[in-house]
Structures are given as C-alpha cells and as structure tokens.
Chains A and B, each alone.
Chain A
Amino acid sequence: MAILIKGGQVIDAGRFNGLADVLIEDDKVAAVGKSLNLKSQDKGQATIIDAKGKLVVPGFVDLHVHLREPGFEHKETIKTGTAAAAAGGFTSVCCMPNTNPVNDNQSVTEFILEQARAAGNCHVFPVGAITKGSEGKELAEIGDLRRAGCVAISDDGRPVMNSLVMRRAMEYALAFDLPVIDHCEDLHLSEGGCMNEGLVSTELGLPGIPPAAEEVMVARNLALAELTGARLHLAHVSTAGSVRMVRDAKARGIKVTAEACPHHFSLTEEAVQEFNTHAKMNPPLRTWKDVQAIKEGLRDGAIDIIATDHAPHAIQEKQLEFDAAPFGVVGLETALPLTLALVEEGVLSLEMAIEKLTAAPARVFGLAKGTLATGADADVTIVDPEAAWVVDPARFRSMGRNTPFAGWKVKGRVTHTIVGGRLVYESVS
C-alpha cells in the first residue's frame, strides 16, 4: 500500500520546512520532495491526499497520557484513549503507570502493549512504575520493565517522597539509560489542597496547593539529577519558579527535560470560579505570571515539549463537590489548536510549535518517532491550520468529557492521521 500526500507545507522540525509531497510506501516514509510519483505497480490501489493549504507533519508524540486500562475502564480504555489520540493527531502516546494494577511489572506492560496492538489506533509506549505499587518504598523491577517495552519510569501522581529512594531509582535507571519522570509535588505541602493557593482559593474557601509544593520537589530532583547524572524529566511544570530552576539547571549542564500542558499555558486559576470541576487538575491552574513564564520557557527552550496529561474521568465523578471530584482533564483532542494559538500569539514559530509536539518529545524519551526522514516509520499527521471549530466534548473519541475548553472557538484541525502507513483517522467535514 502506498499513500501520496501532495502539495502540503511539510514541517519536519530541524530538517525540512517547505512545500513538498510526502510518499509513503508500506509502513515507511519513502520520500519527501517535489512532484513525487507513485511507483507504477502502486497506481490504482494507492491513496492520494491533496494537502494544498495544509500542514504535513510527523505524527504527534505525547509523553504524558492516562489510558486508564487496566482497572479504570469506566473512565477510558486503551482503545478509546488511542482513538482520541489519533483524532488529535497523535500517533505515539506514553501511558502512565497509575492503573490498577499499577504497571510495575512485565505482565502489565505486556497487557497494555497487547491491547494497544489490538486497537491499532496508534503506537503506545508504556511508562513503568519507579517503585512497587507506586508506594514509594521498594524499587520496581526496572530492568524487566525496560525489556518488556517501558520507555521511562514514573510514580506519576504518587511522587516518590523519600529522597533516598528517588536517588536510588535515578542511579539504577542509569544502567538502562531510562529517563526518570517526576510529578513534582511535596505531598505534605499540598495535603488537602484542590486548587492553586492564591486569591481565588482565598475567595472560594478552597484549600490551596502553593507553588512551593511543586518547586521544592523540582529543586530536590534537580539536586539528585546532578548527584547521579540521571536523565530527569519533569512532568507538567506549572509555576514560574519551576521554569526558572529548570532553565538554570540546564545552563549548568544538568540532564533535565521538562514538559508543559496546554491547560497550564492557556488558563489561570480564574477558571475555577463557580467551583468548576473541569478546571481541577494537578498541578493546578496557576496565575497569569506563571502562564507567562511557561510561555517564555517554551520559547527559550527551558521547557522542551508540550504534553497533554490527558486524564479522563467519568461524568459522575466530575459532578461531585469540588474537593471530592478527581483531578484531571482530557487533552488529546484539544492540544493542537491550543498549541497553534501560541503561534498566533507570537510565542512560538510554527516550526517550533510542531517540534514541541514531534521531534522534541521523541528525543526526550529516545523514541524513533517524530520525523519524516526517509525510512522513518510512516506516522504522519495532516493539519488544516485555518479550520475554525468549536470544542464540543460530546464529539470526543475519548470517553472523558472533562475539558475546561468546552465551547471554545479554536483554530487548527487534524484532517488525517496516518499510523505505520495506515490512515487511522480522517475528519468528516
């Protein structure tokens, strides 16, 4: 099978940016160039896509999603989560280990990979747990997790509080060259908190999570990364202080990478007004100053990538009282337009924005993804950058409807998603 994508603006960040055709043969990129033609034997059964006025880019890579399976299939399954990914232009997603059971051993990893293969919507790269049961005490069998297919380790929303255990995990991961991800949160400082500690939490009488709850752990992790030489990746950076520390650490040569989520650069704590549980996530929405700092970090490279922290929940769970409702918002199907808004605003160039969704995340976890180089896996996303649409959660492929962006008028839409040479998603209109 072959696919010829004609006449789009091809952006393969750092390698190529210009009008070109992309030729896919079987599951690989065969060529990128002007006036490409199908091989004669492919004519007749090949798909030709007219991409005039569109962007043709490597499939997006999301280093931070929650697919909920096994254990929480009422929120999302691997099948629905990867369908949402494809609809959002993502061809590779890295799923966090906070399932039930926790992905702290080879058999859970294998189960996830098997479900992902069966669904066939996109590539899934599991993230294994740092400690058994993510309890923060004993190391998980990290070597086994690596061999089974895990691409990084994290205890996700149950961050390793014991600094010695974290040090040992970083050291041990060196043997496998695995990135160690931390959701930076001092659980004592954040205890009971359900939104940013600030003016809005004071007005609403909601217990707050101070920026320092994140920053003290960022500082700790940077010190441990310096001590051990480990590859540290900081999940969902949300505060100006964290951005500043990461920038300084990078300047000093510490091996650290960082991600930011679209909700953290698109919204502030004000979105929580009226006790809106769809604006409740962890880390919480912060202030205008923090949003500016994250944008600046994305621009100057302190923040390497954009990740969604896609965290679906059932409708009834988000209908609870604000403090009882679970943390998290879905993100796979809104990430593209929110990222393109940064281009519109002048924060990022178009090529930088695409890089933060493709080549950069692939580099951070060492995935052979995020490029349209000849011979690369044929994971390609086609985007209509001018298409305006209104976010309607009822139309999500994800089972999760928990988005703070419902009703937003946005610009930029995925029209085609190709995974391994197969067209897995095509927008209807």
Chain B
Amino acid sequence: MSLKRKDLVSIASLAPDEISLILETADSFKEVSGREIKKVPALRGKTVVNFFFEPSTRTRTSFELAAKRLSADVINFSPSSSSVVKGETLLDTARNIEAMQADIIVLRHPAAGAAATLAKGVKSSVINAGDGWHEHPSQALLDLYTLREKKLEFKGLRVAIVGDIAHSRVARSNIFALTKLGSEVRVVGPPTMIPTQLDRCGVQVYYDFDEAVRGVDVIMMLRLQLERQGRALFPTIREYARLYGLTAERVKLAAPGVLVMHPGPINRGVEIAPEVADSFSSVILDQVANGVAVRMAILYLLSGANG
C-alpha cells in the first residue's frame, strides 16, 4: 500500500481513507520503536533532507529518528533565514538539494504556502513540517494516532482546541483533520486570537473556557507565543493564564477520562498548570513517542509513491 501522492503538504488535501492508511501503517512502525534494534531497511539507499528554516528541536529530531529507523540517509540542513536576503529563492535552494538526489525533503518554513510552492517546483517528495500559520500535518496525524491508541472513536468525539488559534498551524491541521473524521470541534480563545469566519470551517467558537470545556473528551492546548504580548492580542500573560490556562479545576468540568494534549514545548503555568501537564490525563509524552512512528509511516508511504 502507498499513498497515491508525491507530497504531504496539508491535511486539507487528504482524504479520510488516506488518513486511516497513515495511522494503520504507523501501528507497525510503533512496534519497531519498541524493539531492541530499532531499525528496518525500508528506506535503505534513500536520502531524506530535513530542510528547516525555523528553529525546531522536537519536529526535526522526530523526523530524523524516523528516517534513521527506516535506514535512510539523513541530512539536516538549516539555512539561516538570511538566505532569502542573499537573493537565493526557496525554490533555488531546494533545487540545489534536489540536484544532490534527495528523495524526500522535509520542510519547515515561516511562510504559509512554502511547502506547496516547493512541492510544485521539485521532483522530490515534499513533507510539510510546518509552514507559517498554515498547517503542520504530521503533528495532526500524530495527535490522531494518539487518540486512536487510547481507543477513542473520532466520530462524535468532542474536542476543545484552546489558545492562539489564529497563529497556529497545529490548530488548523487538527481542525481540518478532526472535522473530516466527524469529531465535534470547539475552539476557545480570546476573540483577538480567533481567525475571522472560523465558524464556517465546521467548528464552534467559544470565548469562555469554562463553558467550552464542559463535557469534552479531549483538550488540546496550544503554546502561547510569549513574544505576541505587546501586539495588542492580549493584555498580560497573567490575565491570559487566568482566562485560558488549563487548571485542574477546568479539567474536572470535562468528561470523565478526558485526555489533555499539547504539541509542545509547554509554558508551564501559562497555558497549562504543572499539575495538569504531569497528571494521569496528560498524553503529552505519548504524543512525542507516537510522532516518530507516524513520521516513519509518512516517509515510508511517500517513498513508495515516489519510487
């Protein structure tokens, strides 16, 4: 089985059965990560380039581990953001990498649409590892995998996504993924951080966290970009934490057995109370562990389509 596509640039462009295929494929790779020798030869002889224009530890490391466990050769390439200033376009830089026979390019870039642009311009497969505020499809897929692993049914699942929705690619990818699969998605945040007409994307918009969290099965917290303070989006971190921070009291308002998720890195005491992050409800570290298996599945399925 393989994906009938060259690239993975967005969840919006994936069909539900493609999502299922990725999640099912990740099952077998999850097993590999539990072995003593955590390696299979599936991508032997293939070259994967991690092409990261933004600092990232978690996602880059996760893709690197995924590629190595599949026996691919991995190159990490982190051009300084000044390369555009130097006059080389993203496409030119990528063509250079392609000329070195890269099979798969994993791109993290600050501009929305960068992965789509790159995918159109090169023959290599392109995986979007985050493009501006647009999408972060592998994050959404690993979130889905984590929910599925906890035996949750997507259909009818009540999920609250909380925080700075407007500037979050994680939120967008999860909204597109969960609504495609029939979940009931509530988004919560200050009105300044809810993008316009989001309700037309099939979600319910809330400004009051206590109201939104009632009865939900999953709470997905988003990282507050602390540098956004001073941009008139919220007055202070103190007030933000009071209104939109996940406390133990708020967890109690949710359905019994609620799962708490966070794409990391977390701001303890800001969007999530330390005791919640470390609680039994939290699956934050499961998300990280599953990230490797899901990314192995993505690399494997795309290399099949490509080769």
Stretch at the interface among A303-311, A319-327, A335-343: A319-327
Chain B residues within an 8 Å CB radius of A204:
112-113, 134
Chain B residues within an 8 Å CB radius of A208:
195-196
Chain B residues within an 8 Å CB radius of A205:
112, 131-135, 169, 172
Q: Is A199 an interface residue (CB 8 A)?
A: yes
Asked if residues B111 and A274 are in contact (CB atoms below 8 Å), the reply is no
Q: Is A374 an interface residue (CB 8 A)?
A: no
How extensive is the interface on chain A, given as a class?
A: 20 to 34
Chain B residues within an 8 Å CB radius of A324:
84, 111
Residue of B nearest to A199 (CB): B197
Q: Is B89 an interface residue (CB 8 A)?
A: yes
Q: Is B223 an interface residue (CB 8 A)?
A: no
Asked if residues B195 and A322 are in contact (CB atoms below 8 Å), the reply is no
Asked if residues A274 and B116 are in contact (CB atoms below 8 Å), the reply is yes
Asked if residues A206 and B113 are in contact (CB atoms below 8 Å), the reply is yes
Question: In residues 256-302 of chain B, which contact A (Cβ within 8 Å)?
Answer: none
Residue of B nearest to A208 (CB): B196
Complex partner residue of A323 from B112, B135, B169, B201, CB under 8 angstroms:
B112
Chain A residues within an 8 Å CB radius of B114:
321
Chain A residues within an 8 Å CB radius of B90:
320-321
Q: Residue-by-residue, is A186-199 near B (CB-CB < 8 Å gives 1, otherwise 0)?
A: 00000000000111
> How many residues of B are in contact with the other chain, CB < 8 A?
25
Q: Is A201 an interface residue (CB 8 A)?
A: yes
Residue of A nearest to B132 (CB): A205
* CB proximity of A176 to chain B, nearest CB, Å: 41
Q: Is A345 an interface residue (CB 8 A)?
A: no
Question: In residues 162-202 of chain B, which contact A (Cβ within 8 Å)?
Answer: 169, 172, 195-198, 200-201
Instruction: Give bound CA distance, A197 to B89, whole Å.
Output: 27
What is the number of contacts between chain A and chain B, taking CB atoms within 8 Å?
67
Q: Is B75 an interface residue (CB 8 A)?
A: no
Asked if residues B134 and A206 are in contact (CB atoms below 8 Å), the reply is yes
Chain B residues within an 8 Å CB radius of A201:
195-196
Chain A residues within an 8 Å CB radius of B28:
none
Complex partner residue of B112 from A199, A275, A319, CB under 8 angstroms:
A275
A198-B133 CB under 8 A given contacts A205-B112, A322-B112:
no
Asked if residues A321 and B201 are in contact (CB atoms below 8 Å), the reply is no
Instruction: Give bound CA distance, A198 to B201, whole Å.
Output: 11
Chain B residues within an 8 Å CB radius of A198:
196-197
Majority-rule SS of A interface residues: loop
* CB proximity of A369 to chain B, nearest CB, Å: 42
* CB proximity of A213 to chain B, nearest CB, Å: 13
Q: Is B91 an interface residue (CB 8 A)?
A: yes
Q: Is A162 an interface residue (CB 8 A)?
A: no
Complex partner residue of B89 from A210, A274, A316, CB under 8 angstroms:
A316
* CB proximity of A317 to chain B, nearest CB, Å: 9
Chain B residues within an 8 Å CB radius of A199:
196-197, 200-201
Asked if residues B111 and A202 are in contact (CB atoms below 8 Å), the reply is no
Residue of A nearest to B172 (CB): A205
Question: In residues 200-243 of chain A, which contact B (Cβ within 8 Å)?
Answer: 201-208, 210
Q: Is B233 an interface residue (CB 8 A)?
A: no
Residue of B nearest to A197 (CB): B196
Question: In residues 363-420 of chain A, which contact B (Cβ within 8 Å)?
Answer: none
Chain A residues within an 8 Å CB radius of B133:
205-207
Residue of B nearest to A276 (CB): B113
Residue of A nearest to B169 (CB): A205
Chain A residues within an 8 Å CB radius of B113:
204, 206, 275, 321-323
Instruction: Give bound CA distance, A274 to B169, whole Å.
Output: 16
Chain A residues within an 8 Å CB radius of B201:
199, 202-203
Asked if residues B116 and A202 are in contact (CB atoms below 8 Å), the reply is no
Chain A residues within an 8 Å CB radius of B84:
320, 324
Chain A residues within an 8 Å CB radius of B131:
205
Asked if residues B111 and A321 are in contact (CB atoms below 8 Å), the reply is yes
| Known pairs A206-B134, A210-B196 / 13 extra A-B pairs, C-beta < 8 Å | A201-B195, A202-B197, A202-B198, A204-B134, A205-B133, A205-B134, A206-B112, A208-B196, A319-B117, A321-B90, A321-B109, A321-B111, A324-B84
Q: Which 5 residue pairs of A and B lie closest in terms of their CB atoms, listed nearest first?
A: A275-B113, A205-B134, A321-B111, A205-B133, A202-B195
Query: Which residues from chain A sit less than 8 Å from chain B, CB to CB?
Result: 197-199, 201-208, 210, 274-275, 316, 319-324
